[in-house]
Chains A and B, each alone.
Chain A
Amino acid sequence: MASLTGSQPSLGEQLRRRKPIVFQHHHHTGEELARELSTFELMMFGVGATIGTGIFFVLGEAVPKAGPAVLVSFLIAGIAAGLSALCYAELASAIPVSGSTYSYAYHAMGELVAVVIAGCVLLEYGVATGAVAVGWSGYFNELLSELFGWQLPEALSVSPIPGTDGEPTGGLINLPAVVLVLLCMLLLIRGASESAKVNAIMVVIKLVVLTIFAVLGFSAFNADHFSNFFGEGFTGVSAAAGTIFFSFIGLDAVATAGEEVKNPQKAVPRAIIGALTIVSGMYLAVAAAGLAAKPVSFFEDSDNAEAGLALILKDITGNEIWSTILAAGAVISIFSVTLVTLYGQTRILFAIGRDGMIPRKFLEVNPKTMTPVFNTVVVSIVVALIGGFVPSDYLWDTVSIGTLMAFSVVAIGIMILRRTHPDLERPFKIPGYPVTPILTVAVCLYIMWGLAAITWIIFLSWIALVLLVYFLYGRHHATLNTYRDPEEIAEPRGRRGDVEEDVDL
């Protein structure tokens, strides 16, 4: 561990200093310990967190890039997500702290890396929530049109910024996306939470509507649509994999929820692989069904991008019932995804705030609602602006790049920790070390390399902004600058010993 004595460290020391891992050893008498997830439930969390909007949307983005070989892109993205989730699971089990990749990086690789990762993770969650809300808006409008024959005018349902094709959109604001985010904000302020039961219901809804799509899609099978399979070459395949990676994000939730399970060494990889199998199987079925039913040119038409799956169903069945069911399923399940991602974003910002990197205002917990109201409102407004004004084309890839970067760092982090802290207790160790983490980094870098220049520009500008904030504010206010007592920076953890005073939980 870096030295953390009273005197102000030099810049180099500060950038490299790591947050010490302090375990809190308090007696725990509460019932919280009784909370144990089964492997199956853990897997359902993975499936629930992963099958989000991505698949309802991503074909319109990915098929034009890779052609029919988009199926290969799905496999590559799935493998990258699976490997990353395994690495993530080891890091999460070795460093039992609250937070996300950011917190693990702070403990394993120092302040500078942590700040960069904070940027990646904020980008991942913030933009993902915006993108999910945009996706919801498309299906919401489709549902309106199918149920009532009326939908919101373009001016109120599309962002004013032209997409990657450069054509003017005719929109002013994506109102449904904004309203959705603000609704989720109100729920979060009230302390609403999606339970395991609701999660399971959402998983079922998603799987059912996607199965309907796959079955009906195959009924219109046309082998010609698969001709010229690798027509776009491997550049196209990797570019599409980058876009598709977005729809696999969430598998890492298995890693962070892994501490709630009885035997992590067995349960975590089973849950990750199980969830990955279900998710990839579903995605491949949906992609193959989409390609079987429609030629590549269909996906290239930007008019078909929004609510794409519902449109395909309408076309092939000539009946509005199936597309209405699909749109309704999407509207319900994507709502829950927005809620969960927005929640994740607020809590990550909270973790960053605890380390003093952003103003303390973000840590204020309202005594009435007992939720971080200021934090939630600020995050929601930013996300609502993203959802309301930025077209989804830019959003998916930006989310992917942030996540891929974070996952590469995680994989590097476990290699560093294995060297620096070989004795650390690791309830879960990845199989095939050191091949697995190296392979993870390689696959992540390969996919990132395929992403468009504009994505890299957005990403690097954002990271530069985050670093600027760090050097102007965070560096001077970091909690590690002033702490004396290890308890002060100890992370509260439900499992390893809850903070106990006054009255027991």
Chain B
Amino acid sequence: MTYVVGYSPHKDDTCALELACELARSEADAVHALTVVPQGWEATTASQHDKDFVHWARTEGEASAAEAFAALERHPDVAGSASWVTARSVPAALVDQARKLEASILVVGSGLHGPVGRVTVTSKTDRLLHSSEIPVAIAPREYRPSRESRITRVTLAFRDDDATWRLLDRVADICRRTNARIRLVTVTIKHRAMLQAGVSGAEDLVFEELSRAARAGQREAVDHLVENGFAGSELETVVAKGRSWADALDGVHWTSGDLLVVGSSSTHPLATVFLGSSAAKIVRAAVVPVIVVP
């Protein structure tokens, strides 16, 4: 299995490559950096300017692949390779190549317009999330783990529904392979009460019940994991509470070696990644690498 990295030249941020190497190191897998350059026209024009363009694209692709390969060589413990392709659409090419290479995860970086250290979903990544059949990992901007860094803890955004329960087993598999700990985080939001309704503490009631259900769901998940051979002491649970998603997630503690896994929409009928509203909010607030699983 391979990690395919979408590598773009001139971006001056190798966060995606760094994340891929960290993941590969944890699972002893290979990393393949892929650059997508624009495709020329199929018909030639009289002036042959299009050939100049194709030539330029090829030069760009080769330079970029070389650059990516050089970056990968800084990680001697990871089997790295790099290549380039031409295509009209970057996300489509990534999905296509990932299928050909039988990749297990597609790794991309964050946009340059977002803050450093945060995950920002670019328009290309957004398109990728809509069409990828395999998990997509997104590195925070300028993500720089240390050379030997491995994934030590996988945090699953856990919501007690069928979709996240299916995800739980997949995460358990990954953690078993990589020897990482599992942490379950459930976000609970306290809505604003309508004070003019004449019911005191109306949202306290609902919030209390929501938190109770969240804790019960997590307990059930922990029992399930323990049954499947995990030591109870290696499992962490957190109920993140707040008035907004950002507020709730601010209270969750993160360290290096952390990885956040979120499921895509639980309602979408297609088995493709399609970010649900909750998942999108979690991803936007993330300060560690995120894997979005379809």
Residues of A within 8 A of B (CB): 32, 37, 45, 48-49, 92, 97-100, 191, 193-196, 199, 250, 252-253, 255-257, 259-260, 339-341, 343-344, 347-348, 350-351, 354, 363-365, 367-368, 370-372, 491-494, 498-499, 501-505
Contacts and interface: CB of A to CB of B under 8 A. Distances in A.
Contacts of A259: 200
B162 to A, nearest CB: 11
Contact of B209 (A354, A368, A493): A354
Nearest to A102: B199
Nearest to A341: B197
Interface string B18-52: 00000000000000000000000000000000000
B198 A494 contact: no
A193 B191 contact: yes
B191 A494 contact: no
A193 B194 contact: yes
Given A199-B196, A260-B195, A351-B199, 6 more contacts: A259-B200, A350-B202, A365-B206, A370-B206, A371-B191, A504-B251
B287 interface: no
User: How many of chain B's residues touch chain A, expressed as a range?
Assistant: 35 or more
Contact of B193 (A193, A363, A365, A492): A193
Which residue among B161, B186, B197, B205 has the maximum number of chain A CB atoms within 10 Å of its CB? B197
Instruction: Classify the interface of chain B: helix, strand, loop or mixed.
Output: mixed
Nearest to B210: A365
Contact of B205 (A32, A255, A354): A354
Contact of A257 (B191, B196, B206, B240): B196
A93 B76 CA distance: 69
Contact of B252 (A253, A257, A503): A503
A250 B202 CA distance: 15
Contacts of B243: 32, 505
A166 to B, nearest CB: 35
B230 interface: no
A348 B191 CA distance: 16
A143 B242 CA distance: 42
Interface in B219-254: 237-243, 247-248, 251-252
A482 to B, nearest CB: 16
A343 B240 CA distance: 25
Contacts of B241: 502-505
B85 interface: no
Contacts of A503: 238-242, 248, 251-252
A206 B158 CA distance: 45
Contacts of A195: 192
A253 B197 contact: yes
Contacts of B179: none
